[in-house]
Structure 1
Amino acid sequence: MLRTPLAVLILSGALSPALAAESGAGHPISGRATVIDGDTIEVRGTRIRLYGIDAPEAAQTCETSAGRSYKCGREAAHALAERIGTGIVTCEPHREASGRRAAICRLGHEDLSAWMAAQGHAVADRRQSTSYAGAESKAWATRRGLWAGTFEEPAEWRRASRSAEAAAGSALAE
């Protein structure tokens, strides 16, 4: 069996540094994407989480600067769907610590995670990477998207939602 050293693959451009950093991450996937939510797409039947960001959940609400409630999770998903349109998305797989499939996905040369963070539709997920912290900071500084009002961090919202479901479930069991 012929083996090519990893460094040769990286230097030749046959393997991106992002893929090389993740052993066994898999091959890039390209195709039309279906948006599941603000940080999850499906390409050719494979569900992929956008690497390095966390977007509000579909049921999550946020508030505008005027205090009006809106469905920020749905707005994030809609913005991502509008950005992708009918374009071809290419995703370079990464593995999250949780084992879920994540990827750096691009529309042409544009990194969709960076775009979502820069538009304020998602926050940088610093547990995965600090790569998108700068884009998030720009959205915060210009009060774009989520930063135009108030919101609960998506991870905190999920934890609170799970706790409320668990409490409701145990109340029903009594």
Structure 2
Amino acid sequence: MLRICSTLVLVLLAAPALAGVEGVVRVIDGDTLDVGGVRVRLHGIDAPEIGQTCQTSQGQDWDCGTWASRAARARYQGVRASCDAMDRDHYDRVVATCRVGGRDMGRDLVRNGMAVAFRRYSHAYVADERAAKRAHLGLHSGAFQRPAEHRRTKVAQSAAPDAGCVIKGNISKSGARIFHLPGQQFYDATTIRSDHGERWFCSVAEARAAGWRAARR
């Protein structure tokens, strides 16, 4: 009996804690937040990636990913949120539904065209997406690629030429040479443009020796 109880205690201690999360919001992008210092991915919605291009009704390109992030920041930066944790994703973010003043943040973002329903994980916001589409709000004011499809396309376009060399050496607009490791925040969104001097690295040591510095997150 004692052995069984000891084993149960060890299992419970090893299990990840998924308690509720509360605190002041710091917006990371259109569907990711820091809530009281905890990184949270909003459940059931998907916002365009920073740098993702959409089209207006006149066919002009615009950075809808940056727009969605700024719009979310204008609404929620610095306010207090309460979240119900549901899971953890492969980036170790807490996946949760969050509320501000009793209002569901995910529903608010989707209904205003700043994100879409992430049907792969939930159908809770499908009706809200349809309402935003009928009203031509935000993303639905023109044409856009669903964020999940955009990410798949980017990954296909930027696949490492060598399975053992997956570190991305990116050059920022300011000319800073920064390398991104798999799992870091901007790794998936980073593409390698060899014609601009960007390149792949096989190790951190190789990247540093070539003059690149590590991404901070």
Tell me, yes or no, whether TM beats 0.5. yes
Preserved CA contact (<8 Å) 2:32 2:42: yes
Aligned to 1:78: 70
Between the aligned partners of 1:123 and 1:24, the Cα distance in structure 2 is: 29
Residue pairs, 1:4-83, within 5 angstroms = 26-83=18-75
Provide the TM-score with structure 2 as the length reference: 0.64
TM-fit CA distance, 1:118: 0.2
Unmatched segments (≥5 aa) in structure 2? 1-14, 163-193, 201-217
The count of aligned residue pairs is 150
Q: In angstroms, what is the RMSD of aligned CA positions?
A: 2.2
Between the aligned partners of 1:35 and 1:156, the Cα distance in structure 2 is: 23
Provide the TM-score with structure 1 as the length reference: 0.79
TM-fit CA distance, 1:86: 2.4
Percent sequence identity over matched residues?
39
Change (3 A) 1:141 1:107: same
Between the aligned partners of 1:163 and 1:76, the Cα distance in structure 2 is: 24
Aligned to 2:100: 107
Aligned to 1:7: none
Aligned to 2:117: 124
Moved over 3 A (4+): 96-100, 169-173
The CA deviation string for residues 76-103 of structure 1, in whole angstroms up to 9 with x for no partner, is: 1111111114210111111167675211
Preserved CA contact (<8 Å) 1:25 1:94: no
The CA deviation string for residues 39-62 of structure 1, in whole angstroms up to 9 with x for no partner, is: 000112211101100000001010
Q: Does 1:148 align with 2:148?
A: no
Larger relative CO (CA 8 A, sep 6+): 1 or 2? 1
Unmatched segments (≥5 aa) in structure 1? 1-22
Preserved CA contact (<8 Å) 2:31 2:47: yes
> Which of these two proteins has the greater Rg computed from alpha carbons?
2
Between the aligned partners of 1:25 and 1:135, the Cα distance in structure 2 is: 31
